[in-house]
Amino acid sequence: MMTIDIITVVPDLLEGPFSHSIMKRAQDKGLLTVRTHNLRKWAINKHAQVDDYPFGGGAGMVLMCEPLANAIEELQINTSYDAIIYMTPDGKTFDQPMANQLSMLQNLLIICGHYKGIDQRIRDQYITMEISIGDYVLSGGELAAAVVVDAIGRLIPGVLSDETSALTDSFQDNLLAPPVYTRPADFRGMKVPEILLQGDPKKVEDWRFEQSVERTKTRRPDLFKED
C-alpha cells in the first residue's frame, strides 16, 4: 500500500479530487491512503499564523519555517518518507517517467506552497524533490499535488481494473495514444476504421502503433525518437 501525506493551508481544496472515481476506489481497496494535514495545526500563535512578509520587502507572503519544520518533523515520527516533495513552478517538470518512478515508492510527503512560496531554508533542509506540473503559476500547490497524486495512484497495481490500461496510456513509450472508437460503428456517416472491426489482434496492434507514431510526429514532434 502507498501512503501520501499532504501539508497544505487550504485542505478543503483537496477533498474533491480524492473522493471520487479512481482515487476513491484505490483508497476503498486499501491500495492507497491519502491524508491531508492543515498547516495551521502547527501555527506559531493563537491567530493561526503560518506566513509572514518576505525579508527585503516585496509583495506577497511567505510560509514560515517554524510551522513547516514542526509539521514535517511530527509526521516523520510515525512515517519514514521515501521522498519529501515540494510543488513549485521552478521544480522539475512532472512527466510520465517521473510518475512511474514515484509509483514504486511507499511513503510520500507533499508540501503545497501558497502565496509567494515557502521559506528557502525549508527547501534546503527537508525537501528531496521539487516538482512543477507546467510553466505557469497557480494560486497554490494543492491542485498541482492533486494532479501528481492522481497520476501516481492510477499506476499502483490493482487500482485499475484492466492492468494493461495504464501501460497503454500516452507517454508510457514516448508516444501519444492512438485514436479510440466505440459503438456505433457508423455514426452519421462517420465510420470506424475497418481494421478495428475485423477481429485480428495483430493487425489492430500494428495499426495502433502506426497511428501513435503518426500522431506523435504531428502533435508532439519533441517526443518522437527515430530508431
pLDDT given for residue 197 in this prediction: 97
Strands of 9-75 (E only): list them: 32-38, 51-52, 62-63
Residue-range domain boundaries for the chain: 2-153, 170-219
For domain 170-219, give the CATH superfamily.
tRNA(m1g37)methyltransferase, domain 2 (1.10.1270.20)
pLDDT given for residue 223 in this prediction: 86
Name the nearest CA neighbour of 190 among 175, 179, 200.
Answer: 179
Cα–Cα dist 187/9, whole Å: 49
Q: For the residues of 97-126, what is the DSSP string, one character each?
A: HHHHHHHT-SEEEEEEPBTT-B-HHHHHHT
pLDDT given for residue 227 in this prediction: 47
Cα–Cα dist 213/202, whole Å: 17
pLDDT given for residue 162 in this prediction: 66
Cα–Cα dist 67/39, whole Å: 7
* Domain 2-153 top-level CATH class: alpha beta
**pLDDT tens readout for residues 10-44:** 999 999 999 999 999 999 999 999 999 999 999 99
> Mean pLDDT of residues grouped by 10 in the chain (227 residues)?
97 93 94 98 96 94 98 98 97 96 97 94 98 95 98 94 59 83 96 96 96 94 71
Q: What is the pTM of this model?
A: 0.89
Q: Do 2-153 and 170-219 agree at the fold level?
A: no
pLDDT given for residue 173 in this prediction: 76
